[in-house]
Amino acid sequence: MRRFTCEDLLRFNNINLDVLTETYNLGFYLEYLSTWPEYFMVEEAPHASGLTSYIMGKAEGKGEKWHGHVTAVTVAPEYRRLGRARLMMDLLEEVSNEGYRAYFVDLFVRVSNTLAIRMYEKFGYSVYRQVLGYYSGEEDAYGRSREGGREGGREEGREGGGLGCIRSLGILCIGRCWAITRGRRTRMVGLRREGGREGERIAY
């Protein structure tokens, strides 16, 4: 496992050819490489010259909305179901918690991508909103999030299984409601509270 480099942009086609993997313009990748290099990681194939997987992310927000964001995490088809995605997500959460002292980590996933949704649920992520037309105006996205390990967070979030972190996003909705978030019409769905031991990362 190592940091992604500019040369890797010429080597990751075997990963990005997947229909559910978003491919961005060159400037987008270079911005992440220059601004959040520690969030952009890749794994070399053990017995070949290619790549197995990569993850890119960033830190954003202000105050108690300060968080890590997973922009993309993807694994080449021939290397799936081997724990690569979990390894990548663990690394990003570690960078968010220890390097950026983030309060939580979030991501977006296509509502039709049931395999990824189940995977994120296993990792402790829960839906906190649904963004209409997020993917090129053609498909909705679920916003999924998980509490981070920063000290000094809201007590409600730690004792109540994460609802305080939903409050820190400016969102307090149980069931379904409508809101405006970052200029998009957003539907909040299925907020959940899950308990956990003190000091444990808690899903929400």
Domains observed in the chain: 1-102 (3.40.630.30), 104-204 (no CATH)
**Per-residue model confidence (pLDDT) at position 72:** 93
Residue with tokens 């053990």: 46
Name the more confident of 25 and 192.
25
Mean per-residue pLDDT for 138-143? 78
d(CA 12, CA 55): 12
**What is the predicted pLDDT for the residue at 149?**
53
Q: Which of 47-51, 66-70, 94-98, 169-173 has the lowest mean pLDDT?
A: 169-173
Query: What local confidence, expressed as pLDDT, does residue 147 receive?
Result: 63
**Phi, psi at residue 165, to the nearest 5°?**
-70, -30
What is this structure's pTM? 0.70
What is the C-alpha separation between 26 and 48, in angstroms, rounded?
A: 25
pLDDT at position 161 over 80: no
Question: In the numeric block, which tokens belong to residue 62?
Answer: 């202000």
Q: Answer whether residue 146 shows pLDDT above 90.
A: no
How would residue 148 be classed by pLDDT, with cut points 50, 70 and 90?
low
pLDDT digits (tens, 9 = 90+) for 100-134: 999 999 999 988 888 889 999 999 888 888 888 87
User: What's the N-to-C CA distance of the chain in angstroms?
Assistant: 29
